[in-house]
Amino acid sequence: MPAIGAYNMAKLQDALGRALVEYWQSGSRALPASLTALVGYWFEWHAIKVAISASLVIVLALLSAGLWQRYLRGRPWYAAIATGATVSTVFVIGVLSVNIQVTALPLIPLLGVLPGRTADGKLAQALSQMHEGLTKSAGPHAGSPALTVLLGEVERYYWVTAAIFATLMVAAGLASAYFWKRRIAGDPSATRVRFMHSTHGVITALTACLLLLMAVAGALSALEPATSLLGIIGAG
């Protein structure tokens, strides 16, 4: 399964469904070999995407810097292209951060591949029992070893998510403050320099606001692991 395409995604869903059923029926906290192999594959796939995203961030950052320099040297129409390159750099940094968190804790993101509500057969039965275990504390499936492990993984995943986005939010906020300070302290006659700093200030400020929302969402998801797990496996 070297790549994720429509056909391979169907194969992945099938293999994951069978592995999850095996894990659920095992009554053990330890992941079966079939699920461990899929988690390893998901880790490797996103580790590759981390390397690609990191390389793309560097390329776009250098491109953005070069375009802004051309704008400052008297080519006004470069402003729009430079702004687009800057926004693209920020977007790819977001993609990089997501791939980092999936690489750090791949099990829970992998479960998001499950067909969920469209599942049938043994997988549908397993998901139904998981739903019962997560929603009925007095039910026969509450406290299942598998659920205990998955709930712990959900908590860790979303706390890591909140930490990553909070760190990026602080970085974006500091960057925005720096750009606005440079704009105010700069030469009032240097309109292009002021425009460049203003553009960077707006982009980083908006990014910080978005990251704040995502960090809060991650923290709230970590505080409600059962609800989050229901949403992930599509059994809510």
User: Cα–Cα–Cα angle for 233, 1, 147, nearest 5°?
Assistant: 25
Q: What pTM does this model have?
A: 0.86
CA distance linking residue 144 with residue 124, whole number of Å: 17
Q: Cα dist. 15→135, 144, 212, 236 in Å?
A: 26, 22, 36, 22
Number of residues assigned to the chain: 236
In the chain, domain spans: 6-233
Give pLDDT tens digits for 141-195: 777 899 999 999 999 999 999 999 999 999 999 999 999 998 887 666 678 889 9
Give pLDDT tens digits for 14-32: 899 999 999 999 888 999 9
Q: Cα dist. 176→8, 132, 201 in Å?
A: 42, 47, 4
Instruction: Please tell me what DSSP assigns to residue 44.
Output: H
